[in-house]
Amino acid sequence: MDDAQGVVAVNGKATKSFFLKWIWRVQQIAQVSTLVMMSISLTLQISGKIEWRFGSPYAPEIFTFSLLAFVLLSLGYLCDRRFKMWVEQTEVVVERNPYMMFHMTAKEVVSNLVQWIPMYEKIGNQEGARVLEDWTKEAINVDPKVKPLADKIIMKFDCEKFVREKYPWYGG
C-alpha cells in the first residue's frame, strides 16, 4: 500500500496525507452542505408557524425548503455576477504574485524559446521576436531557479539541439 491510501509510514507522512486528503474532500462540499443544512434548519423552525395553511403534513416543509433554496441561490448569483464581490480580491492576488506580472516561469521561458520567438520570426515580426527574446534573457538572468528548471523541460521534450543552435546566449 502506498502513501495515498493512508498507511502509517516513516514519520507519519502517509497518515498526514490521508487526513489532509479527507479534509480537502470535506471542504469541497462544505459550502453546499452548509446551505442545505441552513435551509433544513430554517424550514423546520418556520414550518410550525405556517402548518395550518397546507393540507398535507409535509407540504410546509417542502414549500419552505424550496423557497429558501431559491432565495439563497439567487443571493449567491447576485453576489457573484451583479455585485462582483470577489473581483478585486483576485486582482490583488495577481498583482502580488511576481510570476503573474513581471517574472517568467520555466515553462514560459521554454515556450518562448521553442514556440513564440520562432513564430514571430516566421511571420516577419522581427521586432516582436527581439523584444520577447530580450525579455526571456532577462527572466533567465533575474531568477536563478528558472534556468535549471527550463533545462529539465528542454531535455524532456528533446529540443536541446534546437535551443542551443538558435540561441547561443542560452548556454548549457
- Locate 127 and state its grid cell: 521586432
- Locate 18 and state its grid cell: 490521508
* Cell 515556450, located at residue: 111
> How far apart are alpha carbons 116 and 133 in whole angstroms?
9
The answer for residues whose C-beta is within 8 angstroms of residue 135's C-beta and 6 or more apart is: 104, 112
C-alpha to C-alpha distances, 22 to 9, 13, 15, 81, 99, nearest whole angstrom: 18, 14, 11, 31, 31
Output the pLDDT for position 134: 93
> How far apart are alpha carbons 104 and 81 in whole angstroms?
32
Output the pLDDT for position 4: 47
Tell me the pTM.
0.47
> How far apart are alpha carbons 40 and 125 in whole angstroms?
62
pLDDT tens per residue across all 172 residues of the chain: 444 444 445 556 778 888 888 887 777 778 778 878 888 888 888 777 776 666 777 777 788 888 888 887 788 777 777 776 666 666 666 666 666 667 788 999 999 999 999 999 999 999 999 999 999 999 898 888 889 999 999 999 898 999 989 998 887 5
> How far apart are alpha carbons 148 and 38 in whole angstroms?
52
> How far apart are alpha carbons 135 and 167 in whole angstroms?
13
For residue 123, which amino acid is it? Answer: I
> What does DSSP assign to residue 29?
T
Which one, of 43, 31, 44, 29, lies nearest residue 73 by Cα? 31
- Give the dihedral of Cα atoms 112, 115, 119, 120; nearest 10 deg: 0
> How far apart are alpha carbons 153 and 171 in whole angstroms?
15
